[in-house]
Amino acid sequence: MAEVKVKKETNLSDATEVENRIKQLCQQFPHGITDQVIQNDMPQLEPQQRAMAINKLLSLGQLDLLRNSSGLLYRMKDVQSASKMKGSDNQEKLVYQVIEDAGNKGIWSRDIRFKSNLPLTEINKILKNLESKKLIKAVKSVAASKKKVYMLYNLQPDRSVTGGAWYSDQDFESEFVEVLNQQCFKFLQSKAEVARDSKQSPMVQRNSSFATSHEVWKYISELGISKVDLSMDDIETILNTLIYDGKVEMTVIAAKEGTVGSVDGQMKLYRGVNPVIQPTGLVRTPCGLCPVFDDCHEGGEISPSNCIYMTEWLDF
Amino acid sequence: MTAQEVRLCGLLLREHFGEVVEKVGTHLLKGGAQNLRTIIHETGISLDLVKKSLCVLVQHGACVFRSGRKGAGSPTEYQTCCDRILRILRYPRYIYTAKTLYGDTGELIIEELLQRGHMTMSGTIKTVADRLTQNMEEGRSMDYSEVSSAFFRLVETHFLQRCPPLAGAEPKDSATPAAPAPPGTPAAPVSTAPPTPESFPDCYKVPHVTLVGRGKRQLASEDGEDQRNAKKAKMDSQTHGDEGICWQVNFERFHLHFRDQAIISAVANKLDQTSSEIVRTMLRMSEVTTSPTATCTKPLSANEIFRSLPTSYNIPRPILDQYLTLLIDDPMEFVGKAGESGGGMYVVNMHRALANLARATLESVVQERFGSRSARIFRLLLRKRHLEQKQVEDFAMIPAKEAKDMLYTLLSQNLVQLQEIPKTPDYAPSRTFYLYTVNQLPTARMLLQNCYKTVANLVERRLFESKESKRLLEKSQRIEAILASLQASGAEPEQLTEVEEMITAPEKQQLEALRLHINKLDSAENQVDETIFLLESYINSTASTS
């Protein structure tokens, strides 16, 4: 660098001034500057010098190199993050950048390899390094439990990775869902009973047995059985499972915008219902529930004459 | 005619008519239309017995005959259809319905007709009167006119119908409507619809019968004398003016009644008693105006419904309107609105109600067999039609491993099907969507076959249990006969107790247990028959509308 200074002494300010000028330009255009901009500003600067100045800034970690459709962009880097990366070499910086770009969702180690073109062993070393420096963290994805995605240390993992309110530490909380299920059902059932006992006209009875999803949500929040805050969408998924259990039915009505709990001018109403038929005749016999029904025929190992299930059932 | 149906028909024929009829019947079921020589040759039974068995089957409407396919002059061919034989399973239900609707008299009339197949009106009335008289106290007897009036009422409501007359060379059959029209006969009707009993105008006309008298009480006498008396009654030379007009039970009408009952009880379960009364009124009003295969009744105006409601239900008109609106809004769609005239025109959607009942049956089977979580998955797939595995887990809120397990179990039992949607033409598994789906109609058919197999199993078990304890049963029967004869001839109490003690206590216990077992198996058969009825009605209704 001293040579450069000596050579161009007469023509140009020294390289640091070039760098400073570039830095100033970057600060002027926070979105980034292209080569063209630098050239316009310092037309007398030779491309070689420019390149060297830029490389120096990059290696110092003060400038970010980006690419857009028209060419290369140089952007000012945060001082803070610049200080973080001191002492790391280029590869680590590259990996870090790739992880940062992945944002909330995190990125898998194989994808990092594709993006940075580094061999796997290098990647693993770098990742371990970065983790020990507490710059990134590994989060286990709920979809595939062996897969680890990496994201920046201070970022909150996205819902799709952790699974949202129903997952705690990668485990589906089925008891929690069951408890919520039963509580919602009890609430709707008691509401329906109150409506039925009120002995008013049938239309009023039916309408009062309905509960909006907002009411259910308020009831569950007030019950306080959930450690996590549940949104109305969560409650609606629980109510949907009750529909699939055949215990609850739903209607949608048009509601004025602005009434509590309305979404896009609609409100969902739920009410408890009774089953339509009793358990059917076939399942009251042992054959209806028999696990070896298909193997049973007269004269075989399993036959109606020597069926042990029937014997037990007859003696019941 | 599946293997399960044939097996069940065979068992029913054996129980009700004996082994020879069973052999002939199953042979006809398996072999299609055959003439007499073929039957004799292939079953190896003598001509005499085959003729008698065919008589029995024709008498009960299980077998139809027509002239051969090779043209007029070829030997008559006989054909059986399993539908009619499977109805035997439902006899107790028919009799019970007749009892609830028309009392003991109706019950006995239906019972006699079911046992005999076809009978003339006078014959039926006399036999029923005799039976009723026997059960009454001394000195009282049943008048023929009472029984006649019960008979008239049964015919009026179409529960009984005339057997269509057999006409010469081209016999029109009186068997189930499923029997095909004779294909090769030249004078066969052009339409493919088989001639049913109802295509005859006199189907429900009661003949003028001179029948005056009272039931005869059969005196308690020796067995031999009883037999002779019975024989004499049959050869009674009194004629009553209705010779040749035979009556049979109209099964279709009973089925309509059962179907209405199922719909009404479903409405009562889902909504409340008053709504079910309204639906009952609507169905009663459309009993005679709606054809059996219609998907919904004729539209009834709210004014008519209001007027026809039973007087015990004193609900004001606006409340009735509210109930009707609620019935329409119900997701089960029992009742639909067909117009606005007359205060609102309403129909009962029978096809949709049957479909919903069948669906509830399927869901209940899955629930009882595999648990409520699998039932949740099943209902979810019924609602949403096609879903990927991940979506099933998300909607049903079941952990992934368990959901996978349950889906695979349901798939192995064929209750759930997989639909492949390839992204590439080579169906590579990694590039194909696999969607789970439930098809209601094929699943209902499969369950129906399972029901037939179940009933056959229950019947076999019952026969097995009786056979095991045959010795014991015979012994107890002998002792009962001895006791009865001793009592009749006036023996002392010591002799009676001595005879009674011939059955030891453990044997008594065994007999008691046997009796309980057989009752349980019988009632189980009836319960499965209810499921069979629902599924059959649904399948027939879907087949006729599609």
B346 and A207 Cβ atoms separated by less than 8 Å: no
H-helix or E-strand spanning residue B12: helix B3-17
Task: Tell me the average pLDDT across A49-55.
Answer: 77
Instruction: Compute how many other C-beta atoms are within 10 angstroms of the C-beta atom of residue B64.
Output: 24
pLDDT value of position A5: 47
Count of pairs with CB atoms under 8 A, one residue in A, one in B: 143
* Residues sharing a CB contact under 8 Å with residue B513, sequence separation 6 or more, in sequence order: A315
B chain contacts of residue A279, beta-carbon cutoff 8 Å? 364, 367-368
Condensed to tens digits (0 to 9), the pLDDT of residues A270-292 reads 888 888 888 888 888 888 888 88
Which two three-digit tokens encode residue A163? Answer: 């699974």
Contact between chains at A282 and B524 (C-beta distance less than 8 A)? no
* Residues sharing a CB contact under 8 Å with residue A195, sequence separation 6 or more, in sequence order: A205, A206, A208, A209
Condensed to tens digits (0 to 9), the pLDDT of residues B279-319 reads 888 888 888 777 777 788 888 888 888 888 877 777 888 88
B chain contacts of residue A174, beta-carbon cutoff 8 Å? 397-399, 402
**Structure confidence at residue B221 as a pLDDT band (50, 70, 90):** very low
Q: Assign residue A270 a region (left: φ > 0; alpha: ψ between -120 and 50; beta: otherwise).
A: beta
Which residues of B, range 346-385, sit inside 8 Å of A by Cβ? 356-357, 360-361, 363-365, 367-369, 372, 375-377, 379-380, 383
Contact between chains at B400 and A246 (C-beta distance less than 8 A)? no
Q: Which of B31-35, B42-46, B150-154, B201-205 has the lowest mean pLDDT?
A: B201-205
Which residues of A, range 176-205, sit inside 8 Å of B by Cβ? 177, 181, 196, 201-203
B chain contacts of residue A177, beta-carbon cutoff 8 Å? 397
- Our CA-based measurement puts residue B7 at a distance from the nearest CA of chain A, in whole angstroms, of 10
Judge whether A131 is closer than 8 Å to chain B, CB to CB. Answer: no
Task: Tell me the average pLDDT across B413-417.
Answer: 91
A chain contacts of residue B456, beta-carbon cutoff 8 Å? 304
pLDDT value of position B416: 92
**Structure confidence at residue B95 as a pLDDT band (50, 70, 90):** very high
Alpha-carbon gap, residue B53 to B22, rounded angstroms? 9
**Structure confidence at residue B229 as a pLDDT band (50, 70, 90):** very low
Contact between chains at A240 and B395 (C-beta distance less than 8 A)? yes
Contact between chains at B395 and A287 (C-beta distance less than 8 A)? no
Condensed to tens digits (0 to 9), the pLDDT of residues A65-87 reads 777 666 677 776 655 554 555 55
pLDDT at B445 over 90: yes
H-helix or E-strand spanning residue B104: helix B91-116
Q: What is the percent of chain A with per-residue pLDDT over 90, rounded to a whole number? A: 0
pLDDT at B408 over 90: yes
A104 and A158 Cβ atoms separated by less than 8 Å: yes
Condensed to tens digits (0 to 9), the pLDDT of residues B447-460 reads 999 999 999 999 99
* Residues sharing a CB contact under 8 Å with residue B268, sequence separation 6 or more, in sequence order: B275, B276
Alpha helices in B413-492 (DSSP H): 440-468, 470-488
B chain contacts of residue A273, beta-carbon cutoff 8 Å? 270
Judge whether B447 is closer than 8 Å to chain A, CB to CB. Answer: yes
Higher pLDDT, A123 or B364: B364
Whole-number mean pLDDT of chain B?
A: 81
Nearest CB among B364, B398, B520 relative to A280 is that of B364
Judge whether A287 is closer than 8 Å to chain B, CB to CB. Answer: yes
Sequence length of chain A is 316
Judge whether A279 is closer than 8 Å to chain B, CB to CB. Answer: yes
- Our CA-based measurement puts residue B176 at a distance from the nearest CA of chain A, in whole angstroms, of 26
Alpha-carbon gap, residue B254 to B246, rounded angstroms? 19
pLDDT at A4 over 60: no
Judge whether B317 is closer than 8 Å to chain A, CB to CB. Answer: no
Reported pTM: 0.77
Nearest CB among B360, B372, B528 relative to A281 is that of B528
Judge whether B58 is closer than 8 Å to chain A, CB to CB. Answer: no
A268 and A250 Cβ atoms separated by less than 8 Å: yes
Task: Tell me the average pLDDT across B372-393.
Answer: 90
Half-sphere CA count of B235, side-chain side, radius 13 A: 5
Sequence length of chain B is 546
- Our CA-based measurement puts residue B459 at a distance from the nearest CA of chain A, in whole angstroms, of 9
Write out the DSSP string of B34-64: EEHHHHHHHH---HHHHHHHHHHHHHTTSEE
B295 and B284 Cβ atoms separated by less than 8 Å: no
Higher pLDDT, A229 or B267: B267
pLDDT at B167 over 50: no
Condensed to tens digits (0 to 9), the pLDDT of residues B323-340 reads 888 888 888 888 888 888
The 10 Å CB-count burial string (b at 16+, else e) for B133-168 is: beeeeeeebbebebbbebbebbbebbbbbbbbeeee
Contact between chains at A280 and B365 (C-beta distance less than 8 A)? yes
pLDDT at A90 over 80: no
Count the helix, strand and coil residues of chain B and give each as a percent rounded to the nearest 5: 60, 10, 30
Nearest CA in chain A to B380: A244
Judge whether A238 is closer than 8 Å to chain B, CB to CB. Answer: yes
